[in-house]
Structure formats: structure tokens, C-alpha cells
Chains A and B, each alone.
Chain A
Amino acid sequence: MKRAILYFVAFVLLITVVPKFLVARGEIELLTASEQSALDAELQRISDQYDINVVIQTIDQPQNGSISRTAQALYEKIHGDEDGIMLLIATETRDWDIGAHGRGEKIFFTAAREYIGEQILDDLSAGDLYDAYCLFAELCEDFMQKAEMGTPYTQFELPDKPLPDYFVLIAIGAGVAIALIVVLSLKAQLKTVAPKASAADYVRRGSLKIHKSRDVFLYHKVTSHTRSNNSGGRRSGGMSSRGNHTSGKF
């Protein structure tokens, strides 16, 4: 029974949590034809529904070394001055950029672009472009839907950040710990025979008299710990925002 439980727990970890930890910087997998067509259809639907272009472009590398300038130029070339939001991915240099245009700048303000960038970063780092693109579309639709309803997100009120993947492990560990506490206390009910270590029950009341009480300081030791600014070793680089663009590395 004990072995069966261990195997079960190991299996659950293997299929849920471990893969996420193992894939730090994965090989970039470009979209298949069916994925591309599905994604195109979804982006078109969202764009038509909210009258804002939701665009995703994939290139080999940015021109002139700047992903943001490349993204700006590319969007203006394709869509001119139309309202929109575009995600640009450079596969060779592993750069990403999210740029907002026209009405899109109001809906996808700096904090919003940074939030969306954080959410898709894990999938981009793992090289899973399709998942990243789908999540990008989903998040863009969420922002535009809220704006249309008259309750747009603000820099002080962004969508809930999902719990990190490793929290599954923490939840399982906490569940097992709670179970152990409960079950071990039930087991303790069965054992009522134990020798008494002390004779506290037989102390004459009021008989305690202290005639010596001295506290002597010996020495002290000070240690320090500096918190790292880097939020996680898995992600590649930080992000920066300038104007209507937010970019970074993955």
C-alpha cells in the first residue's frame, strides 16, 4: 500500500510539474499548418469582434538590432495607422515585442503589456510558440472585453496572476502534511500508557524558592541575507517598456 502511494505521487509529479521545471530554454517549435490556420481564424475573429487588430508576427531577427523599431515599422507597413496590438517574435535572437497602436494604446497600457509579456514568457522560453500565441490572443480578448464592458483594467487592477506551477507541489505537500498531522493524532489516541518523566504532580504548593538567578551575556553573531532582484532563474532577461512598446528576451 505504501509503495502504491509513492508510485502514484511520483506519477502525478511526472506528468504535471516536472516537465515545467525541466524545460527552461527549449528549442523553438514553429507552428504547423493546422495550428497556423486555427490561430489565424481566432485572431481574425477577435479583431472583427472588437474592431482592433490583434496581430502576431514571427521573424528571424530584428532589423537594425532593435526589436521595438522593427515591430513599429512592420505594423505601420501592414496596417498603417489602424488601431491594434501586435506581438513580434524574433526566433534567432529570441526577442519579443508587444506594441500597441491607436485605441490599442489606451487598452494595452504599459502595465498591461508588461503583464501580458510576463504571462507568455514561460511558453516562449520553452519554445512553445503556439501555446504562447494562443495565450496572447486570449489575454488580448480579455482586456478588450473588459474595456468594451466599461470596466477596463487599470494599472492598479490587472487580471489575477495565476499561481506558479510549483504551487501544485506545495499544495500536495501541504495536503500530505495535514493528513499526517490528523492521522498521527488519531494514532496517538490508541497509546495511553507511558512512563511519567517528572514528579510535577507531587510538588508541594508554594515550596519553590529561588536563591540564585543570574543571566550572563556571552557573545552575539550577526548574519545578513540580501534578496535577489531577479524573480526567477528560468526566465531569460528582463523586459523594458518605452512609449507604446514593451520588449524583452525569452
Chain B
Amino acid sequence: MAALLDYKCPCCNGAINFDSSLQKMKCPYCDTEFDVEALKEQDDVLEEDEMHWDSEGQQWEEADGMRSYVCNSCGGEILTEDTTAATACPYCGNPVVMSGNLAGDLRPDLVIPFKLDKEAAKKALQKHLTGKILLPKVFKQENHIDEVKGVYVPFWLFDADADADVRFRAQKVRTWSRGNTTYTETGHYRLHRGGTLCFDHVPVDGSSKMPDDLMESLEPFDMSEAVDFQTAYLAGYLADKYDVSLEDSIERANTRIKHSAEEAMRATTSGYTLVTTEASFVRCRHGKSKYALYPVWLLNTTWNGEKFTFAMNGQTGKFVGNLPMDKKKFWTWLVGISVVASPLVYGAAWLINHLL
């Protein structure tokens, strides 16, 4: 079994990539297009339980979390982290897939193919920077994109039925006046709500290299466009296998499911001025999990010696990333608006006083 998979055009033998706009494999040299299904047989190697490796020309070594491969195309050494599942040869750019990191138990169940390309990611960054009044002006001018990479991020997807039993304390406030006296009646209640709620494909980031809050900010992904995994989808992109186990990810999924179940119960209370949770018990059952790869464009930029990471959902185009704030602009706007608004408020009050 070959440790590296790469995809060659049968017409011109050039390296072919997955084209997000066509949703097909395309040769950039002769423009020939192929359905992904046509390359399915290449994935047969992923079904084998045991690793076989040919020691000639494809040696790989493992040291300090790194692995070394030999490019099939140019013979150059490809040095990657041991979690890398897809990358490109740094010498010839040949996209390669590390089948060893996608075989057997490591094989993803589903993949959402990229729908948006690198140019869309760059345009989305420019749009993200537009219209932000408190963004330092020089950030737009001076920041340069260090790196734009399309990455398939490993996710654990959880299905579960949640049984929730929640107790709330609630208040109803009523006021009325009689003569010069105003009366306020506060009624105190205890509310019991119990029910069932079903969740499908709750995602938890399975890569320790990807910040969890960044990945969660990109949600939701549209699962209706998820397809059975094939390595061909990875050609031209980077990919990692998971390094956060299923067991370690369950807790995060449970937290989100529990929160949603409580909120769903709270939504069934009405007519109260204030509702607070007194006790909550949520039990998950019929739990199922799947392993999927989701498309994410990552952009890194450096400004003032500080690194900024932005991410775009490779399927929906949602773009996120924290930006720096110009403190001087903040205080200038605060004082400026105060100076304008205060006389306006006074003037409005004077006008109302005059009209009344």
C-alpha cells in the first residue's frame, strides 16, 4: 500500500485538484474535468486494516510528532506533523493525501466539500475590514496576508435525544395606583417543565490546533451538502486527522445540548416578568457519533508584530476574526457623540416642555 496518494490527470499526467466552483476534480493544465466518483477506487487502500509500506522511495519516519514522506512526483522530502492527512509538496506543489491518517478507524464518515475558493476568502477578508469605524486605519493599509490555506478540519458530530427536567422560579409583577399611593404586587411561582428534544450533528472541533471558539463561530454548516468521504475531495487542500478523541469531545457536546434543552423548556414559560433556573437535569440517550471533515479557509495576517487569524466557512462563506481597536478613535467618538447628544437631549426636553 502506498503511504501517499496523489491524483494524476490521465490525459496529461498533471496533478489534479478538487475544484470548489465545479464540485469536480479538474486538471489545471489541460482543463479536463472528472467526477469525484471516478477516482473512488483509489480509496480502496483506506479499507485495509494494516499499514503496508514499500520501503523504496516512500520511506517515512516518525520523530517528535513529525513525519517525513517522499513526493511521488518530484522525489522531494515532505515533512509534516503526524496529524496531517493532506498537504502539498513544498517543491513541486503536487497535492498529496496521507492515506495512513485516513485509513481504518481514522477514516472520516462524511465530508462537506469546499464550495468557495481562495479568491472568495481574500474578498471576504476585505469585506470584513470594511465599515469598521474603530478599526485602526493603518491596519487596512499595512496588514498583509501571510498565508491563506484551505483546510479540512476534523469534527466529531453527535446525535442525541435529550430528556430535560427543569425547575424555574418566576415572578409576576403588577402595579396599580389609588390616590397618592402606588401599590406593587409581586407574585412568586415555581414552574416545572419536562420534555424531550432531539439533536442531530452537534459539531465539536477534533483538532487541538484549531481554536474551538474560532471553529464554533463559523457554524452552522449545512449537513444536507455532506457526502460520503472520498480522499479526492482533499486534493489541493490541507487536512488533519483528529487529535482530540471522541471521549474528550463528548463533554463539550453535552454542555451545548444541556444549554439548548434548558432554553427550550424556558421558552414554554410565558406571562412572567422574570424567570430564573432553580434546578436542571438533562439526560442524553440514543447517542451516536460520526467523524467528519468540514471546509475552512484560514487566513493569517500580521500587524504591529501581532498575529491575527481569520477564518471563513468554506461552504457558507461566513467570515469571522477579531480585529484590533483604535483607542484614540474610541474616546474621540465617545466624547464627540456626548457633546452632540447632550444638547440635543436638553433641546428635545425643552421642546416637549414647551408643547405640553
Contact of B213 (CB < 8 Å), options: A193, A201, A214: A193
Instruction: Give chain B interface residues in 179-230, CB to chain A under 8 Å.
Output: 180-203, 211-214, 216-217, 219-220
Q: Does A207 interact with chain B (Cβ within 8 Å)?
A: yes
Decide: B333 and A179 in contact? CB cutoff 8 A. yes
Cβ of B193 to closest chain A Cβ, rounded Å: 6
User: Which residue of chain B has the shortest Cβ distance to A189 in the bound complex?
Assistant: B132
Q: Which of B108-116, B292-300, B346-354 has 4 or more CB atoms under 8 Å from chain A?
A: B346-354
The one of A172, A199, A209, A227 that contacts B342, using a Cβ cutoff of 8 Å: A172
Q: Is the CB of B196 within 8 A of A193?
A: no
Given contacts A224-B181, A224-B184, contact A203 B197 (CB under 8 A): yes
Stretch at the interface among A19-27, A94-102, A215-223: A215-223
Interface: B75 (CB within 8 A): no
A201 to B256 Cα, complex, angstroms: 11
Which of these, A175, A180, A216, contacts B345 with CB under 8 Å?
A175
Q: Are A203 and B198 in contact (CB under 8 A)?
A: yes
* Contact status of A214 and B191, CB under 8 A, knowing A198-B259, A203-B260: yes
Give the interface centre of A174, A193, A214 by most chain B CB atoms within 10 Å.
A193
B39 sits at the interface (CB 8 A): no
Q: Are A211 and B194 within 8 A (Cβ)?
A: yes
A168 within 8 A of B: yes
Complex partner residue of B133 from A178, A186, A199, A203, CB under 8 angstroms: A186
| Complex contact B325–A187 (CB within 8 A) | yes
Enumerate chain A residues within 8 angstroms of B265, measured Cβ to Cβ.
Answer: 210
Q: How far is the CB of B249 from chain A (nearest CB, A)?
A: 13
Q: In residues 301-356 of chain B, which contact A (Cβ within 8 Å)?
A: 319-325, 327-328, 330-331, 333-346, 349-350, 353-354
Contact for B199 among A182, A204, A226, CB less than 8 A: A204
Cβ-based interface call for B135 (8 A): yes
Q: B330 contacts which chain A residues (CB < 8 A)?
A: 183, 187
Q: Tell which of B131, B134, B180, B202 touches A199, judged by Cβ atoms closer than 8 Å.
A: B202
* A78 at the binding interface (Cβ < 8 Å): no
Is B268 within 8 A of A210, CB to CB?
yes
For residue B43, CB closer than 8 A to chain A, the reply is: no
Known: A179-B334, A183-B334. A223 touches B184 (CB 8 A): yes
Within 8 A of A (CB), among B222-255: 253
B337 near A182 with CB under 8 A, answer yes
Contact B165 A174 (CB under 8 A): no
Q: CB < 8 Å: which of B189, B196, B319, B341 contacts A174?
A: B341
Chain A residue nearest in CB terms to B166 = A212
Chain A neighbourhood of B197, CB < 8 A: 203, 207-209
**Interface extent on A, as a size class?**
35 or more
In the complex, the chain B residue whose C-beta lies closest to that of A181 is B337
With contacts A160-B354, A186-B333, A203-B260 known, is A192 near B321, CB below 8 A?
Answer: yes
> Cα distance A212–B328 when bound, in Å?
55
Interface string of B118-139 (1 = CB under 8 A from A): 0000000000100111110000
**A225 and B182 contacting across the interface, CB-CB below 8 Å:** yes
A186 to B219, CA, bound (A): 23
Q: What is the size category of the interface that chain B forms with chain A?
A: 35 or more
Docked Cα-Cα span, A160 to B195, in Å, equals 61
A203 near B165 (CB under 8 angstroms)?
A: no
User: Which B residues lie within 8 Å of A193 (CB)?
Assistant: 211, 213-214, 217, 320-322
**Counting CB contacts under 8 A, is A149 at the interface?**
no
Query: Which residue of chain B is the closest to A196 with respect to CB atoms?
Result: B216
**Residue interface bits B79-94, CB-to-A below 8 A is 1, else 0:** 0000000000000000
Please, how many angstroms separate the alpha-carbon atoms of A152 and B256 in the complex?
A: 71
Say yes or no for B148: interface residue by CB 8 A criterion. Answer: no
B47 on the A face (CB < 8 A): no
CB contacts (< 8 Å) of B185 on chain A: these are: 220-222
A178 to B343, CA, bound (A): 12
Contact A215 B191 (CB under 8 A): yes
| Closest partner residue, chain B, to A204 (CB atom) | B198
B35 CB-CB contact with A under 8 Å? no
- Given A183-B330, A183-B334, decide whether A225 and B181 contact each other with a Cβ distance below 8 A: yes
Q: A161-B353, A217-B187 are in contact. Are A195 and B345 (CB under 8 A)?
A: no
Given contacts A186-B134, A209-B196, A212-B195, 10 further A-B contacts (CB under 8 A): A174-B345, A178-B341, A179-B337, A196-B256, A199-B256, A207-B197, A208-B197, A210-B193, A214-B191, A215-B191
Residues of B bordering A, CB below 8 Å:
128, 131-135, 165, 170, 180-203, 211-214, 216-217, 219-220, 253, 256-257, 259-260, 263-265, 268-269, 319-325, 327-328, 330-331, 333-346, 349-350, 353-354
**5 residue pairs A–B, Cβ–Cβ below 8 Å:** A178-B341, A183-B334, A196-B219, A209-B196, A225-B181
Q: Which 9 A-B pairs have the closest CB atoms?
A: A175-B342, A212-B194, A179-B337, A207-B198, A175-B341, A171-B346, A199-B256, A210-B195, A204-B198
